[in-house]
């Protein structure tokens, strides 16, 4: 496969065969080596075959092999021109994303309290494979969660209005329809609302270590030494079930419609067809579940802080922002000089809207959207800010994390969970895990250098660096 270096950090896969557009990969020389090794570049080219795709098939610097789409993949299809939607372009953990909470505490306030705080958070936040959630819901309540998202939680006196205000889409994706979600998916979700799960999901206590841009940092309410909490999780079993069922259904519909793609994992149908609409309704519903899940967990974090810190100031925890990185949405962008309605797939990619976007809360509109980029359990996480340049380059998208460098199986052979726990402890990072053996699968060495990933995005203008957050404690499943 031909690969041309257009400029620093931009690599082009020229259109060949059935590709409808070129592929573009945003990566440094070192990051590109790994992208080639795990064949993720081939998936970028495959995505370029999707009917109705416009611009380029894109990949962020944290690109690695995924189901159909690479993780870190972005693609936009034109709705009015028969553009398709593909469940492989969203992934199985629909609506997975990050919520960042800021506290009023400084790092010195944690002295003598960190173990107690982490213990409280570990008790308050359910984690682990298949774990039950904090707020079990019946069928009627589940349908409201799927339809209303964070609005349902607020109606149940969970969290506060600011939590929804500072969530992507104000916490509720319009167009969700619970009737498009199967009984089996609803049943799986009804037991898991308010749970962290396992794998790469986590809750992390962090400290603001460096500030790179004062104006957005002030708008986001960040300062040096400040204690924050990052929550990374998604739609749990409900989203996985929705994707499993829809991949099967859309694969069948695609073949009946005569649509051909180079990989059946790219099963797709036109957004405007009945099957496409049903998937969008179900996917939006699962994304609403994911947002509500993080909303509930944020409230549990508040309970943990209140248990440990006596004064109302010290216990105060507020939502900075909540953004998903596994979703497809209908958005408008200029393509070839005209504004077009596009279905933008972001799989392992974060929305990155620049200053002036009407999608943003008033507090952030002047500086741009907070972009939340988690590290790899033991490495720093980042807060960046959206850039208008990203609308031109990447349909308003940027990276979503460090990106895996080795499989979970391979990582698990490098060290035991206890060894990883000890290594993190030597670096001053406290760990609480439901299953210690699984720590090895998520060890820092299993991931790319998140700082390098962020630097590529910063230099290209996909997003701009604001603050670097150092982990001091992590809760895992």
Residue extents of the structural domains in the chain: 4-405+447-476
Going by C-alpha positions, the residue among 371, 442, 380, 373 that lies closest to residue 406 is 442
CB 180 within 8 A of CB 243: no
State the alpha helices, DSSP H only, in 50-196: 114-124, 139-148, 150-155, 161-165, 183-190
Residue 232 CA to chain centroid, in angstroms?
A: 8
Q: Are 53 and 21 in contact (CB under 8 A)?
A: yes
Sign of CA dihedral 128, 133, 139, 140: negative
Query: For residue 111, what are the contacts with CB-CB under 8 A and spacing of at least 6?
Result: none
**CA triplet 54, 169, 202: central angle to 5 degrees?**
95
3-state helix, strand, coil in the chain (%, to 5): 40, 25, 35
Residue with tokens 């020389």: 29
Helix or strand or coil: residue 477? coil
400 is catalytic: yes
Q: How far apart are CA 324 and CA 309, in angstroms?
A: 30
Q: What DSSP line would sit under 197-264, residue for residue?
A: -STT-EEEEEEEEEES-HHHHHHHT--TTEEEEEEEE--HHHHHHHHHHHHHHHHHHHHHHT---SSG
User: How many C-beta atoms lie closer than 10 Å to residue 58's C-beta?
Assistant: 29
pTM: 0.96
Cα-based distances in Å from 180 to 2, 146, 242, 279: 42, 10, 9, 7
Tell me the CATH number for domain 4-405+447-476: 3.90.1860.10
Query: What confidence score (pLDDT) does residue 312 get?
Result: 81
Of 232, 295, 345, 400, the active-site residue reads 400
- Rounded Cα distance between 305 and 93, Å, is 29
Q: DSSP letters of 352-397? A: ---TT-TTS-HHHHTT--EEEE---SSS-EEEEEE-THHHHHHSSE
User: In Å, how far are 48, 335, 345, 441 from 89, measured between CA atoms?
Assistant: 12, 20, 5, 24
From first to last of the 477 residues of the chain, give the pLDDT tens digit: 899 999 999 999 999 999 999 999 999 999 999 888 888 999 999 999 999 999 999 999 999 999 999 999 999 999 999 999 999 999 999 999 999 999 999 999 999 999 999 999 999 998 887 778 999 999 999 999 999 999 999 999 999 999 999 999 999 999 999 999 999 999 999 999 999 998 889 999 999 999 999 999 999 999 999 999 999 999 999 999 999 999 999 999 999 999 999 999 999 999 999 999 999 999 999 999 999 999 999 999 999 999 999 888 778 999 999 999 999 999 999 999 999 999 999 999 999 999 999 999 999 999 999 999 999 888 999 999 999 999 999 999 999 999 988 888 888 888 998 988 898 899 999 999 888 888 888 888 889 899 999 999 999 999 999 999 999 999 997
- Tell me, what's the pLDDT at 438? 83
CA 349 vs CA 191, 327, 372, 394, 397: distances in Å: 28, 9, 11, 10, 6
């Amino acid at each position: 496969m031909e690969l041309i270096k257009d400029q620093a950090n931009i690599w082009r896969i020229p259109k060949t065969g059935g590709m409808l557009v070129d592929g573009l990969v945003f990566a440094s020389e070192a990051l590109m080596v790994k992208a080639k090794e795990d064949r993720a570049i081939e998936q970028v080219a495959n995505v370029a075959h999707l009917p109705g795709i416009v611009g380029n098939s894109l990949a962020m610097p944290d690109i690695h092999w995924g189901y159909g789409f690479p993780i870190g993949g972005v693609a936009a299809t034109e709705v009015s021109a028969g553009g398709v939607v593909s469940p492989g372009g969203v992934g199985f953990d629909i609506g997975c994303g990050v919520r960042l909470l800021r506290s009023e505490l400084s790092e010195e306030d944690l002295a003598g309290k960190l173990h107690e705080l982490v213990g409280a958070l570990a008790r308050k936040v359910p984690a682990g494979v298949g774990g039950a959630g904090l707020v079990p819901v019946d069928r009627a309540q589940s349908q409201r969660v799927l339809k209303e998202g964070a609005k349902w939680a607020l109606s149940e006196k969970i969290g506060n209005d600011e939590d929804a205000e500072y969530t992507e889409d104000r916490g509720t994706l319009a167009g969700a329809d619970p009737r498009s979600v199967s009984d089996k998916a609803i049943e799986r979700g009804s037991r898991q609302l308010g749970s962290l799960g396992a794998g790469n999901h986590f809750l992390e206590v962090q400290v603001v270590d460096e500030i790179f841009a004062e104006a957005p940092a002030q708008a986001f309410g960040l300062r040096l030494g400040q204690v924050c909490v990052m929550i990374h999780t998604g739609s749990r079993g409900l989203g996985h079930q929705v994707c499993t069922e829809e991949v099967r259904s859309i694969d069948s519909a695609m073949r009946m419609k005569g649509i051909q793609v180079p990989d059946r994992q790219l099963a797709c149908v036109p957004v405007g067809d009945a099957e496409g609409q049903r998937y969008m309704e179900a996917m939006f519903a699962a994304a609403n579940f994911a947002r509500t899940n993080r909303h509930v967990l944020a409230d549990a974090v508040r309970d943990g802080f209140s248990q440990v810190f006596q004064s109302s100031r010290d216990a105060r925890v507020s939502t900075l922002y909540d953004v998903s990185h596994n979703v497809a949405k209908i958005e408008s962008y200029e393509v070839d000089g005209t504004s077009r309605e596009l279905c933008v797939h972001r799989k392992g990619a974060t929305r990155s809207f620049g200053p002036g976007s009407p999608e943003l809360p008033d507090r952030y509109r002047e500086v741009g959207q907070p972009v939340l980029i988690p590290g790899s359990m033991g490495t720093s996480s980042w807060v960046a800010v959206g850039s208008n340049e990203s609308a031109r380059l990447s349909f308003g998208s940027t990276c979503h994390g460090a990106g895996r460098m080795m499989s979970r199986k391979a990582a698990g052979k490098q060290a035991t969970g206890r060894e990883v726990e000890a290594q993190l402890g030597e670096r001053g990072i406290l760990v609480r895990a439901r299953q210690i053996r699984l720590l090895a699968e998520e060890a820092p060495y299993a991931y790319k250098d998140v700082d390098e990933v962020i630097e590529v995005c910063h230099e290209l203008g996909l997003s701009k660096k604001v603050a670097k957050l150092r982990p001091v404690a992590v809760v895992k499943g």
